[in-house]
Structure 1
Amino acid sequence: GIDSLVGGYIDIILDILRDKEYEIDKISIHEYMFFVSAIGTESNFNINTDKAVELIKEYRNLTPTQRKSVIETLKVELKPKNYSGSKKNKRDFHNWHNKIAQVYYLLNQTVYFEVRGEQLVLKGGQNSFSEAATRLDRSLNEKYQYFVKQESVKTLGFELHHVVPLAWSENIHHFKMLDKWENMVYIDAFSHAKITQNKNRNVVLEVVKDDITLTDHSDNEVYLKHQKNILYKPANKNTMKKYNFELLNILE
């Protein structure tokens, strides 16, 4: 679907726009280019969601003139003829902007987002995903529930991830089923990046003693060692596995 065409980023964008703690309700094309598109990438500039949000806020603190100066500088720096490094890392600003404009066009076709000018926002209206109840569900309830039920605390370098992506939902009912703590894992940024690079296909949750594996249907596995790669309460492992099995049966 569209999620794989946009690199598996729908869940990341939903996370940024729906989480009240982030206080971000729109993302400009340039903010997406510079920061969001760097989340979990295989490039040298690889950041996590928290860092991307921090950088977006710093970018917004610049004056309009300073922001324009950043963009103009990058336009000059990112002309292929001005780049002396390897061809693989060559980036053309104009092509990059066009690529993200295409991503915005695709995101505008989804049930989650709409594009207003150069800004990406949550789609409004009745039964939309931006309704206060749905938004608060994630921000205050299920996210909070994960830490309570799993007896975990917020830890630097770890990120909350939906095993079966929110992007799989076709309606509000599915969305709420996916947005439950039982469908979440709190994992290290490196493991999260591997899943993002595989376009969020690692949806099958299995248990190996107290460790968890997330695999896709081609046996591409991300192994999550308890306490090292995943923070959770092992007593919940069978609940999580059962919920994962039920979700996949309903949605696949």
Structure 2
Amino acid sequence: MTQILQDILNIDTSKECIKFLVKRVQSENYRGVQISQHNRYTQKEILIILQEIYSLCGENYLQIRTTDLSKRPQNINGEEKYAKLTHNIASKIGRCTQDSLRKNIFVDMHRMGLINRFNAKKKALSPFENGVKKYIALTQLAIELLSAKDIFTQNILYTRALESLMNGFGEEILQIILELNKPYLTIYELLFFGTFVYQTLDSHIYERVEIIGFIKEFRSLSRFSQKLLIEKIKAYCNPLNFSGDKTQKRDFHNWINETQQILTLLAQMAYFEWNKKEQKLYIRVGKEGIYDNSAKLKRSLAQKQYYFTQHKITKTKGFELHHIVPLCFAKNRLEFQIFDNWQNLVYIDAYSHAQITQNNNANVLLSFEENDAIFTDFNDNKVCCKNNTNIKYDTDKQNLMLAYNQQLLFAKET
């Protein structure tokens, strides 16, 4: 095993990306970002499920099965609509059981913010809370998604749901691709590097700029060296090479399966499209995407430069530009462009950025305590950024930043 790791290093001893991979595959957290490994669904299938729920009970509670069919084959009183729901869904998408719907799909739909789940007393539960779930109900986001009048609005709302499921990972990948010389990601670039953005290894948080650097280095390798690296990583990550439990083993098959699932979700977002022939994830360009043409793509990058110009600061190692109100909050193309504005950006350190990202990018309310910036979520959880330590900005721009943040969060729909 040690020899395989040395063989990997010897592919090119000058490349930091290879040194990183050798460290990564030895870590218990080698798989990095973990989202939804086993579920496979499309936007169309999720819309069918939502529509069938709405047709049966509207926005009211729906009682669901609480026990596996193997333990209780018959439905009890109150579960009739749930049995009908699964039958209707299966007839339209070709697969769905009472067990798979509640144990797999509903788990993700709750994390997507499309349904809420409740206990027997109809107390709302958090997406990650244990215990028996007896009822579900559609959320306002689900109703908006069902009511969307055009494909773009539907896509951007579904993107918001996926961003909730992925804890803001989609927006991180968008920013990574935007900053690459060639705007795409391959599955191995996502597998080896993209899935470790803001993950911790040996007490070090791998920020976006480091991940981008690794990807650029990987691309600079010859095709032969890239293929050799992939094969050596596969050879090392064979469960048969390890003893002990799952935490002590490395499994390339499971690792890439999980990455393929993440890729499937990313490809459904309004930001991206998957080129099957080239096996690359590109930023979507076209009438149904975020950008009408390449010019708008360049303008998006210009907003980042405006931040540095307007705040009179320079780029600093260990800091990242961050959208205070994430792009996935946008409901349409106009809102997306309003959110993708330098006045909605802050330059914060990797640790603070990781805190916000791990809280599902929910710290969207900006405030200040003297010159320190405070980012608060809807449950009053705060991330505090000390000026010049965790955030770099022009303090004379405080009122402008606050006004724009208030405009984005509290503007009334017309």
Same fold, TM exceeding 0.5? Answer: yes
Matched, 1:132 2:294: yes
Q: Which residue of 1 aligns with 2:190?
A: 32
What are the residue-to-residue correspondences of 1:75-90 with 2, within 5 Å?
Answer: 75-83=234-242, 87-88=246-247, 90=249
1:79, 1:37 → 2: CA distance?
20
Structure 1 consecutive aligned stretches of length 4 or more whose deviation exceeds 3 Å = 42-46, 83-91
2:412, 2:338 → 1: CA distance?
10
Equivalent in 42, 45, 49 of residue 208 of structure 2: 49
Identity %: 38
What are the residue-to-residue correspondences of 1:109-128 with 2, within 5 Å?
Answer: 109-117=268-276, 118-126=279-287, 128=289
Q: Which residue of 2 aligns with 1:104?
A: 263
1:177, 1:188 → 2: CA distance?
24
DSSP 3-state at the match of 2:391: coil
The Cα of 1:161 is off from its aligned counterpart by 0.6
Q: Which runs of 5+ in 2 are unaligned?
A: 1-160
Q: Which residue of 1 aligns with 2:378?
A: 217
Deviations 1:33-76 (A, max 9, x none): 11111111144474222211111111112222221221122122
2:248, 2:174 → 1: CA distance?
29
RMSD between superposed Cα atoms in Å: 2.2
Equivalent in 163, 166, 188 of residue 324 of structure 2: 163
TM-score by length of 1: 0.90
Q: Which residue of 2 aligns with 1:67?
A: 226
Report the AA paired with residue 132 of structure 1: S
Q: How many residues align?
A: 249
Residue 250 to residue 95, structure 1, CA distance change in 2 (3 Å) = farther
DSSP 3-state at the match of 1:53: helix
More moved, 179-188 vs 79-88? 79-88
Report the AA paired with residue 48 of structure 1: E
Q: Which residue of 1 aligns with 2:403?
A: 242
Q: Is contact 2:205–2:350 with CA below 8 Å preserved after alignment?
A: no
The Cα of 1:93 is off from its aligned counterpart by 1.4
Residue 244 to residue 153, structure 1, CA distance change in 2 (3 Å) = same
TM-score by length of 2: 0.56
Q: Is contact 1:205–1:214 with CA below 8 Å preserved after alignment?
A: yes
2:263, 2:169 → 1: CA distance?
11
The Cα of 1:26 is off from its aligned counterpart by 0.8
Q: Is contact 1:168–1:251 with CA below 8 Å preserved after alignment?
A: no
Q: Is contact 2:320–2:349 with CA below 8 Å preserved after alignment?
A: yes
2:363, 2:239 → 1: CA distance?
36
Q: Which residue of 2 aligns with 1:8?
A: 168
Deviations 1:74-128 (A, max 9, x none): 1222223424688546542111111111111111211111111231101122363
Report the AA paired with residue 136 of structure 1: K
Residue 249 to residue 66, structure 1, CA distance change in 2 (3 Å) = same
Report the AA paired with residue 38 of structure 1: F
Matched, 1:177 2:338: yes
Deviations 1:111-156 (A, max 9, x none): 111111231101122363342232122212x112111221111111
Equivalent in 377, 389, 394 of residue 233 of structure 1: 394
Q: Is contact 1:77–1:83 with CA below 8 Å preserved after alignment?
A: no
Q: Is contact 1:146–1:184 with CA below 8 Å preserved after alignment?
A: yes
1:234, 1:48 → 2: CA distance?
25
Q: Is contact 1:41–1:197 with CA below 8 Å preserved after alignment?
A: no
Higher gyration radius (CA): 2
